[in-house]
Structures are given as C-alpha cells and as structure tokens.
Amino acid sequence: MPEKIMVALSGGVDSALAMALLKQEGFELRAAYMKTWMNEEGIDVFGDCPWHQDIIDATACAEKIGVPFEVADMIEEYRKQIVEYLVDEYRRGRTPNPDVMCNRKMKFGKFLDFALSRGCDKVATGHYCCLRDNPDGTRDLMMGADPGKDQSYFLCMITQNQLMRAEFPIGSLLKSQVRDLARLNGLPNAEKKDSQGICFLGKIRIQDFLGHYIEEKPGDIVNVSGKILGRHKGLHNYTIGQRKGIGVPSNTDKKCYVVVSKDYNTNKLVVAFDSPDAPNLYTTRAALESANWINKPIESPCDIYARVRYRDGLVRARYSPLGGGEGFVEFQTPQRAIAPGQIMAIHDFNEPSVVLGGAIFKSTGQPV
C-alpha cells in the first residue's frame, strides 16, 4: 500500500512540482497551505506579503493535479514558535534565523502533526535538498543538486524522527529543470517568481517590525577609539558585520563603516572601517550551543566542514563537543561577522554533501 503524503504547498512552483512528481509516482496525496502569522494586533506588518495570491495559486495547482487541498490555520502556533522567538532573540541582542526554526518548529513540527492527524505518513516540501536511506534504517540529509539553490542549510536543525517523515521530491533537480517540468505539467504557477524574505514581514523593514515590540533605547555610535560618530535608536536594530543603514557616512577615502560590537553595558554601538584588520570582525574560533544532530552525534573532537550562513560556502573547521549541546569550533580560515544567535550547519568532513546537523553561535573568541 503506497504511503499517504501531505504536500506543503506554498503557492510557489517548487512545492507544486513536488506534488506533481509524487502524483506521477503513485502516492496517495493531500495538500495544504500553512497559513502562519498575520496581523491581529492592529500592526501593519503584512506589507505586500502575497498570501492571498499564494492560496489562490496553491488551490489552482492542487486542482490541476487532482489533489484534495485545504488551508491549515497555524497562526497562533507560528506566533508562539517563530515570532516570539524572533523578537526575544533581537531583544537579547542576538541575530536569529527564523527560516531555520520554521522548518524545525513548524513545517516538520506543527504542520507534520497536522498531516498525521489527517491520516498522512509524511510531509513533502519543495526544498532543494536530498535524502539518503541507510542500511541501519536511518536517513541522511544531503545537499541539493543545484549548488545555487541548495537549501539543506535551512534544515540543519531538524531531527532524525522528522527526517524520517520528510520527502524532498525536487532535490535532485536544477531550478531550470523545475521550471521546465512545471511547464510540461501545465502548472498554473510555472512562471511565478520565487518568494523572498520572511513572508509575514512583506516589504516592511525588520527594524520597523521590531519597533512595535522592543522599546527604542538611543545611544552613541562610536569608533574603536571611543570617538562619538553619531546616534543609534537601539542596539537590537544592528548585527555584527552590518554595513548598510548604520547612519554614519563613510570618510573621504570612501571607506565604509561596519558594526564590530554592541556594548550593552554602555549602550554603545561600536563601528570600524570595513577591513580584514577591523577588531572583532573576523574570528577563527567560536563557542556553540543547542547542537542538533540529525543522525549520530559528534562525541569527540574531529574535522568538519561548516557553513556559517546560508549563502556562504563550506569552510574547513574542527569541532570539539563540550557536552550538554555545547561545543566550540575552530576555523581553518578567519570567518567574517559571526554573531550570537546565528546558526552554523555542520557537514561531514569525508563526505561534505552530508549535513550532520547544526548549532547556534553563542559567542566568538580569539579574534584575528
């Protein structure tokens, strides 16, 4: 008897083609659009978020393929699991990654629970990543075939149990192939542009959104020598490595300022000219917390490949576990702008396409 799969339709072409491919393989399918956070507090945060159109597009695609479709109302769950996490992390002066946590807490958390309640065995999404079934019955998370679209980074914090309930039908395809197959299958959204950013924000700046939740606390912007260069509206509006929107103009040599630290004791934002010798901007060592292992945990120091943010390449490093989900990583080459709260994906050193798991940066040390 074929497995019953719930397809998480976003309204985009990737998840729509994932549904079409699974249908062709003979799986029994249901589909749902995960309706997440919306404005219930009188705050105009939706901007141009096209969720109305997304539901229309998802409905049209499900009808085209002949799959039962519904809207899963997860507004309250999303508020608790993602929005509150986002605001709390910024309030603490950290830099969160809501996209990673959305996969762990929502798509393969609350939405998976929803799928199981509908009698489904698994959840399928349009992520560009692959799965490998191992002889011992476990699964490995693998990078997607398209190096420009690989999304395995965003799944580095999911668990083995969640991975066993996941399917990624388009992971072996290039984006161009996805478009071609979408046209071939007559999907109504074959030409739809890819979505950008966190949907519930629309085109609203993150600073404007946070302003509704975190009280402004103005302070001085200073250089590393302590000279006052300007004023900021609150340290939560800035992250390490930020260059745009600081509010301090470049000098006559057109050198740009970059945020190198946030001093919460004095409420000062410290900036320096963006260069390899800017203090605290580059580091070879960082402490990690909340480590997540998709398969077997790393229990002794070993070489790994690390991805410190989504668009960065894999870098060689050495990971040392400390117990209790904590550890530290030493990079072979200095890494730029690592901030507490950011998430690092951990890849197998001998087989870099395998994602072993992920961890959250706690602090940096030994800057170069």
Q: What is the mean pLDDT of the chain?
A: 92
**Is 90 exceeded by the pLDDT of residue 366?**
no
- pLDDT given for residue 106 in this prediction: 96
Q: Is 333 exposed, middle or buried (0-12, 13-18, 19+ CB in 10 A)?
A: exposed
Q: What is the pLDDT of residues 59-116, one digit of tens each?
A: 999 999 999 999 999 999 999 999 999 999 999 999 999 999 999 999 999 999 999 9
CATH number, domain 215-273: 2.30.30.280
Where b means 16+ CB within 10 Å and e means fewer, 120-142 reads bbbbbbbbbbbeeeeeeeebbbb
Choice among 120, 129, 156, 199 that is catalytic: 199
Q: Identify the helix (H) or strand (E) that includes residue 262.
A: strand 257-263
Query: Does the annotation count 102 as an active-site position?
Result: yes
Task: Compute the residue count for the chain.
Answer: 368
Q: What is the pLDDT of residues 13-67, one digit of tens each?
A: 999 999 999 999 999 999 999 998 764 444 555 455 567 889 999 999 999 999 9
3-class state of residue 253 by DSSP:
coil
Mean pLDDT of 284-294: 98
Which comes out higher in pLDDT, residue 364 or 217? 217
Q: What's the CATH superfamily of 282-367?
A: Translation factors (2.40.30.10)
| pLDDT at position 301 | 98
CATH of 4-201, picked from 1.10.760.10, 3.30.360.10, 3.40.50.620, 3.30.43.10, is 3.40.50.620
| Lookup: tokens for 28 | 């029994």
Q: Looking at residue 300, what DSSP letter applies?
A: S
Q: Residue 368's pLDDT band (boundaries 50, 70, 90)?
A: very low
Give the model's pLDDT for residue 365. Answer: 72
Please give the model's pTM, rounded to 2 decimal places: 0.93
Residues 161 and 113: beta-carbon distance below 8 Å: no
Q: What would the pLDDT profile of 183-233 be if each residue is shown by its tens digit?
A: 999 999 999 988 765 555 555 677 778 888 899 999 999 999 999 999 999
The active-site residue, picked from 49, 102, 120, 129, is: 102
Domain boundaries, the chain: 4-201, 215-273, 282-367
pLDDT the model gives residue 144: 98
**Residue pLDDT, tens place only, 320-342:** 999 999 999 999 999 999 999 99
Task: Note if 130 is an active site residue.
Answer: no
